[in-house]
Amino acid sequence: MLRSLITPLVLSAIYLLLSLLVYGGYCLDLGWETRSSSLAGWLVGLVILFVSVVVLKKHIHAPRPTLIRWVSIKQADQIVSILGPMLVLGLVVSLFAMADAYRDFQGNFWSLPSFRLIMLQTSVVSVAALGMTLIIVSGGIDLSSGTALALSGVVLGLGLEADLPFVVAALLCIICGTLCGAINGTLISLMKLPPFIITLGSMTIFLGIAKMIATDGGTVKPPAGSIPNWIADMVTLFPDPAWIAYPLLPNMAWGIWFVFGLAILAAATLNRTVFGRHIFAIGSSESTARLCGIPIARTKIVIYTLAGFLVGIGGVFQFARLSQGDATAGVGLELRIIAAVVIGGASLSGGRGSIIGTLCGAAIMSVIKQGCTALDLGNQLEDILLGTIIIAAVAVDQWRVRSQSASPN
Amino acid sequence: MVSTSLLNVTEVSKSYAANRVLTNVSLALSSGEILALLGENGAGKSTLIKILTGAVRPDAGTVMVEGKPILHGNTALARHLGVAVVYQELSLCNHLTVEDNIMLGREQHRYGILDRQSQRKIAVEALAKLGQPESWLDRRVSSLSIGQKQLVEIARAIAQNAKILILDEPTSSLSQQDVSQLFDVVRRLQAQGLGVIYISHFLEEVRSLCSSYLVLRDGTVAGSGQLQDTPPRELLKLMAGRDIEQLYPARKPRQGECRLEIRALSGRPWPDNISLTINRGEILGLAGLVGSGRTELLRTIYGLDPQRTGEVVIDQHPRKNSQNPAERIRAGVAMISEDRKQEGLAQSMSIKDNMTLSNMSPFSLFGWLNEAKRDQCCHALKEKFSIKAFSCDAPVWTLSGGNQQKVALARAVHQKGTIWLLDEPTRGIDVGTKAELYRWMAELAEKGDSLLFVSSYFQELLATCDRIAVISQGKLVDVRPTEQWTEHELMQYAMQGRV
């Protein structure tokens, strides 16, 4: 009984740590001169996290596990796999923060507004990346998610132009994304063609359709006043602290909490449902899944449709950020989405990946972006850093897989 | 003093984390010796081989080839010193020719331009050492049989000046004909002074080919010596660590009504018009060579391969030709795939997931899984099949072959199979597990299940089945009660139509 509480306990400890950080940032907002001490606190927390991961890892592989009375192997394994990506994220944040501290915090990287911006930039990518995680775990890939997201945004804009209420237009936007996913899934499972090829094609098709229906040179500007305030609040940089159970939760735009909610749903789907096990099975070995009577075609269609649904929600986020529909806003976005999943530790050959990893992957990309801007390093360096991290993530992953498979069988 | 000692392994130990895989293993191989390396799955054979090839670093001990040590983590050096391994899974490039494959990795060139002439010379020499014709060289590897591919791989090792050849279960997927050809080649190489380490689960085979043996058990040397001085029973005992009373259980045939009937079943391209019946409580053997269409027959019955004509009748109900394994599973059919690595199990998933994949309904409430219940069920299955694993959450690839097969069986039990399609279930499995498997098959039949047992190892069919059907080139040759078959006849019928 007590044992089963350990994983949630550790997770809430992490949560407390994170919120302390954000609260610290909030204090900075008020102009308190505590930046260096809060940074020091953060670094201490990170070191504690690092040490606990190392200890747990040692514990899992120790000849005679000594912690066994406190943590079961399975829990230790779970915690390590959850903490691992977080640790990398913490490391990236610390590097930028220390660079910021070196410059007497002139870059304002170590501040709440900066973290809010990071969270917001993360949100669009991570909504779509949740769906992409399902797809990649099942051994597929979706190159069309970026342009499908932009297409959904354009549909939303057109809906507003046609004087539809915002909720209806947003619904249309989500339906559009879902349809795009359903089309991909159906083509992939019925034509039995590689997802890479199918979605490469549909990526271009969606871009073309978006350009065709966007009347105003590729963009759709909704009439003034058609975007309600609550939508602007969804992604605002200056949230009103009173709207949610503040100060129980850090004050961030409600869209960010919404993404967290979706992430919990996605993680539960992946790990705690029959459907989730089927996704892993198809990604791990499709022929085994077939042998076990898993309806592969149907499962794949559902996976891509779900991912499309999330892309549609991503379209609403994007629209809220840009206040307009832009047919070309999604070009290259799919690669950022895929990168988030891959940095998060998923394997492109399927069978491995996690939601928490994906969220951290998306956050790492935003941190690099914001860090480079805050420290005035320019976006050339940002691109180079990002590329390096992607390669490093895959290299570390491969190295881990290899060191594992060298063990006996 | 002239020493003929080729390979000296002294006091090698290796452990992975908590797991001691090898403890003080020593081994000596001289030129012209064929050493049988025996042991159950998980005894440490594969790790020992990996240490010999330099792929794995031992915690203690040394490996010397002709007095030169193998540096670990350096497989190129081991290869250079003359250690070559032919694994069960062949590593050939199917699209290239035999010559290209033999020369792969040591292409002869002048300033980067291929020197075809000297390439061919080396390849021809290598094939000649094996006693194989030169005419092979320009054929594409994809057009060769498995046995021939294996010879190509051996030729590659020879072309690379191998002095020590390690054969890892080379015969487990070969037909009898290919086996005798392989043995000829190995004996020829022995005469040329190569040292051979031969790994196999077939004791008869080992006795006919090898001169000495080394038995590993739980990572230690359980025994070694000359094969002539050791009776087979003694070998079995060394491998299992206990006396195996009886490899095959005694069973009384029990016949009930017809459970599974196949009427004129044809697929693309095989099976070809096959009709068979299997009764309640019966084990029906299906004898045939590799590639005779046995696997295709099972796959067609199970709905994995398309069914062209004919009918599958289960429990007197004709079943739809729907190519839907889920429907067969619901009707009580369970299949154990011959390809455990690729198809039988999802290697990267946990034991628990693999056991329950085909039947999640006992743990699911509107698709939501009850993990506690699933853990319980898997733990019970793990105990029942005595699967050696740290926990049910361990990924399947960490298990030995025999334990993996048990996981596949546990899944079939969990999905409540009553009609069993077993495709080479004993391949690559140690003797102890084999005995368990036969006993367990007999129990199932006793319980009233029906089993279709495919094997290319005819002795086990003769010892376990009630009736045996022989299949050749996708066609049914004959079905008879087991008493009316001899091994020789089975072989003859299985080859019929081949040449």
A216 beta partners: A219
Residue A213, domain extent: 112-405
Q: Measured between beta carbons, which residues in chain B are less than 8 angstroms from residue A63?
A: 15, 17-18
Write the CA distances from A393 to A227, A383, A404, B101, B377, integer angstroms: 40, 15, 17, 34, 37
Do A242 and A148 lie in one domain? The reply is yes
A377 CB-contact burial (10 Å; exposed 0-12 / middle 13-18 / buried 19+):
middle
- The nearest alpha carbon in chain B to A268 belongs to B368
| Mean of the per-residue pLDDT values of chain A | 81
Q: Quick one: which of A151, A154, A320 has its CA closest to A226?
A: A320
Mean pLDDT across the stretch A14-35? 56
| Mean of the per-residue pLDDT values of chain B | 83
pLDDT value at residue A32: 46
- The fraction of chain B above a pLDDT of 70, given in percent, is 95
Tell whether the model's pLDDT for residue A78 goes beyond 80. no
pLDDT value at residue A306: 95
Do A118 and A102 lie in one domain? The reply is no
ipTM value, please give it. Answer: 0.75
Q: Mean pLDDT lowest for which of A10-14, A82-86, B351-355?
A: A10-14
pLDDT value at residue B245: 59
Instruction: Report the CATH number at residue A310.
Output: 1.10.3470
Q: Quick one: which of B74, B77, B79 has its CA closest to B104?
A: B79
- Which amino acid makes up residue A63? P
Tell whether the model's pLDDT for residue B375 goes beyond 90. no
φ, ψ of residue B114 in degrees (nearest 5): -60, 135
Which two tokens mark B349?
A: 């998933």
Q: Which of A45, A78, A110 is the last residue of a domain?
A: A110
Do A98 and A180 lie in one domain? The reply is no
pLDDT value at residue B498: 40
Which residues 461-480 on chain B approach chain A with CB closer than 8 angstroms?
none
Mean pLDDT across the stretch B193-202? 85
**Do B246 and B68 meet the contact criterion of CB atoms below 8 Å apart?**
no
CB contact under 8 A, B344 and A290: no
| pLDDT tens digits for range B57-109 | 888 888 888 888 877 667 778 888 888 888 877 778 888 888 888 888 777 77
pLDDT value at residue B84: 87
Do A205 and A328 lie in one domain? The reply is yes
- The nearest alpha carbon in chain A to B400 belongs to A409
Q: Where are the beta strands (DSSP E) in B325-367?
A: 333-336, 364-365
pLDDT value at residue A6: 63
The C-alpha atoms of residue A159 and residue A229 are separated, in whole angstroms, by: 17
CB contact under 8 A, A351 and B349: yes
Total number of domains constituting chain A: 2
Do A94 and A116 lie in one domain? The reply is no
pLDDT value at residue A17: 63
Distance, in angstroms, between B311 CA and closest chain A CA? 20
B360 CB-contact burial (10 Å; exposed 0-12 / middle 13-18 / buried 19+):
buried
Binned at pLDDT 50, 70 and 90, residue A70 comes out as: low
Do A15 and A116 lie in one domain? The reply is no
Do A31 and A21 lie in one domain? The reply is yes
pLDDT value at residue A406: 46
Do A179 and A54 lie in one domain? The reply is no
Which two tokens mark B382?
A: 């793990």
**Do B98 and B179 meet the contact criterion of CB atoms below 8 Å apart?**
no
CB contact under 8 A, B348 and A406: no
pLDDT value at residue A64: 59
Binned at pLDDT 50, 70 and 90, residue B499 comes out as: very low
b/e per residue, A68-82, with b = 16+ CB within 10 A? Answer: eeebbbbbbbbbbeb
- Is some CB atom of chain A closer than 8 A to the CB atom of B399? yes
Q: Quick one: which of A146, A329, A323, A114 has its CA closest to A231?
A: A323
Picking from B343, B367, B411, the nearest residue to A273 by CB comes out as: B367
Q: Quick one: which of B71, B62, B77, B74 has its CA closest to B11?
A: B62
- Give the helix/strand (H/E) hosting B110: strand B109-110
- The nearest alpha carbon in chain A to B361 belongs to A274
Number of H-type helices and E-type strands within chain B = 16, 24
Top-ranked range on mean pLDDT: pick from A43-47, A404-408, B15-19, B305-309: B305-309
Q: How many CB atoms lie within 10 A of CB A231?
A: 19
| pLDDT tens digits for range A129-155 | 999 999 999 999 999 999 999 999 999
- The nearest alpha carbon in chain A to B19 belongs to A63
- Is some CB atom of chain A closer than 8 A to the CB atom of B56? yes
| pLDDT tens digits for range B208-237 | 888 888 988 878 888 888 888 888 778 877
Which two tokens mark A159?
A: 């809906």
Give the torsion through C-alpha atoms of A238, A240, A243, A247, to 10 deg.
90
Give the sheet arrangement for strand B60-65, strand by strand: B19-30, B5-16, B60-65, B68-69
- Is some CB atom of chain A closer than 8 A to the CB atom of B449? no
Mean pLDDT across the stretch B305-323? 84
Q: Measured between beta carbons, which residues in chain A are less than 8 angstroms from residue B357?
A: 277, 281, 288-289, 292, 294
The C-alpha atoms of residue B426 and residue B286 are separated, in whole angstroms, by: 14
pLDDT value at residue A134: 95
Which site among B22, B349, B356, B421 would you substitute to test the A interface, given the most A Cβ atoms closer than 10 Å to its Cβ?
B349
Picking from B42, B304, B368, the nearest residue to A291 by CB comes out as: B304
Picking from A63, A272, A275, the nearest residue to B17 by CB comes out as: A63
Do A120 and A143 lie in one domain? The reply is yes
Tell whether the model's pLDDT for residue B126 goes beyond 90. no
Do A317 and A205 lie in one domain? The reply is yes
| pLDDT tens digits for range A26-58 | 554 544 456 676 777 777 777 877 887 777 777
**Do A346 and A354 meet the contact criterion of CB atoms below 8 Å apart?**
yes
**Do B13 and B59 meet the contact criterion of CB atoms below 8 Å apart?**
yes
Q: Which of A110, A129, A151 is the last residue of a domain?
A: A110
- Is some CB atom of chain A closer than 8 A to the CB atom of B322? no
Give the position of tokens 């940095």.
A343
Q: Which of A94, A110, A126 is the last residue of a domain?
A: A110
pLDDT value at residue A108: 77
Integer distance in angstroms from the first to the last C-alpha of chain B?
Answer: 53
Q: Quick one: which of B182, B167, B231 has its CA closest to B36?
A: B167
pLDDT value at residue A16: 61
Chain A residues at the B interface, defined by Cβ less than 8 Å, are 61-65, 73-74, 77, 272-275, 277, 280-281, 284-285, 287-295, 351-352, 405-409
- Which amino acid makes up residue B45? K
Question: According to DSSP H, which parts of B8-55 are helical?
Answer: 45-52
Which two tokens mark B89?
A: 């899974």
Q: Quick one: which of B282, B328, B402, B297 has its CA closest to B42?
A: B402
Binned at pLDDT 50, 70 and 90, residue A316 comes out as: very high
List CB contacts of A52: < 8 A, sequence separation 6 or more: A83
CB contact under 8 A, B367 and A287: no
Degrees, nearest 5: CA angle B301-B305-B310: 50
- The fraction of chain A above a pLDDT of 70, given in percent, is 80
Q: Mean pLDDT lowest for which of A125-129, B233-237, B494-498?
A: B494-498
φ, ψ of residue A114 in degrees (nearest 5): -65, -40
Mean pLDDT across the stretch A297-303? 94
Mean pLDDT across the stretch B473-495? 81
CB contact under 8 A, A290 and B325: yes
The C-alpha atoms of residue B392 and residue B351 are separated, in whole angstroms, by: 5
Q: Report which of residues B244 and B384 the model is more confident about.
A: B384
Q: Measured between beta carbons, which residues in chain A are less than 8 angstroms from residue B413?
A: none
Picking from B19, B357, B393, the nearest residue to A408 by CB comes out as: B19
Do A150 and A217 lie in one domain? The reply is yes
Top-ranked range on mean pLDDT: pick from A143-157, A320-334, B112-126, B170-184: A143-157
CB contact under 8 A, A74 and B393: yes
Which two tokens mark A302?
A: 């559902």
CB contact under 8 A, B345 and A288: yes
**Do B276 and B284 meet the contact criterion of CB atoms below 8 Å apart?**
yes
Query: Residue B70 gets which letter from DSSP?
Result: P
Tell whether the model's pLDDT for residue A15 goes beyond 90. no
| Domains of chain B, earliest start first | 5-240 (3.40.50.300), 258-495 (3.40.50.300)
| pLDDT tens digits for range B396-409 | 887 777 788 889 98
Q: Mean pLDDT lowest for which of A5-14, A112-121, A184-193, A304-313?
A: A5-14
A233 CB-contact burial (10 Å; exposed 0-12 / middle 13-18 / buried 19+):
middle
List CB contacts of B423: < 8 A, sequence separation 6 or more: B294, B295, B298, B335, B336, B337, B338, B454
Top-ranked range on mean pLDDT: pick from A33-37, A71-75, A229-233, B283-287: B283-287
Q: Mean pLDDT lowest for which of A348-357, B466-475, B486-495?
A: B486-495
- The fraction of chain A above a pLDDT of 90, given in percent, is 32
- Is some CB atom of chain A closer than 8 A to the CB atom of B364? yes
Q: How many CB atoms lie within 10 A of CB A400?
A: 12
Tell whether the model's pLDDT for residue A241 goes beyond 70. no
Tell whether the model's pLDDT for residue A322 goes beyond 70. yes
CB contact under 8 A, B369 and A274: yes
pLDDT value at residue A21: 57
Report helix, strand or coil for B256. coil
| pLDDT tens digits for range B94-104 | 888 888 888 88
- The nearest alpha carbon in chain B to A57 belongs to B17
Tell whether the model's pLDDT for residue A176 goes beyond 90. yes
- The nearest alpha carbon in chain B to A278 belongs to B357
Q: Measured between beta carbons, which residues in chain B are less than 8 angstroms from residue A408?
A: 16, 19, 21, 42, 44, 46-47, 398
Mean pLDDT across the stretch A226-235? 80
Report helix, strand or coil for B207. helix
**For every residue of chain A, which 3-state class applies, written as one string?**
CCHHHHHHHHHHHHHHHHHHHHHHHHHHHCCCCCHHHHHHHHHHHHHHHHHHHHHHHHHHHCCCCCHHHCCCHHHHHHHHHHHHHHHHHHHHHHHHHHHHHHCCCCCCCCCHHHHHHHHHHHHHHHHHHHHHHHHHHCCCCCCCHHHHHHHHHHHHHHHHHCCCCHHHHHHHHHHHHHHHHHHHHHHHHHHCCCHHHHHHHHHHHHHHHHHHHCCECCEECCCCCCCCHHHHHHCCCCCCCCCCCCCCCCCCCHHHHHHHHHHHHHHHHHHHEHHHHHHHHHHHCHHHHHHCCCCHHHHHHHHHHHHHHHHHHHHHHHHHHHCCEECCCCCCHHHHHHHHHHHCCCCCCCCCCCHHHHHHHHHHHHHHHHHHHHCCCHHHHHHHHHHHHHHHHHHHHHHHHHHHHCCCC
Distance, in angstroms, between A292 CA and closest chain B CA? 4
Picking from A74, A275, A288, the nearest residue to B346 by CB comes out as: A288
Q: Using N-to-C axis directions, what is the helix angle for A296-322 and A254-272, rounded to 10°?
A: 170
- Is some CB atom of chain A closer than 8 A to the CB atom of B44? yes
**Do A304 and A128 meet the contact criterion of CB atoms below 8 Å apart?**
no
The C-alpha atoms of residue B33 and residue B197 are separated, in whole angstroms, by: 8
Do A81 and A157 lie in one domain? The reply is no
Degrees, nearest 5: CA angle A85-B369-B329: 120
- The nearest alpha carbon in chain A to B56 belongs to A406
Tell whether the model's pLDDT for residue B192 goes beyond 70. yes
- Is some CB atom of chain A closer than 8 A to the CB atom of B338? no
Mean pLDDT across the stretch A75-96? 79
pLDDT value at residue B138: 83
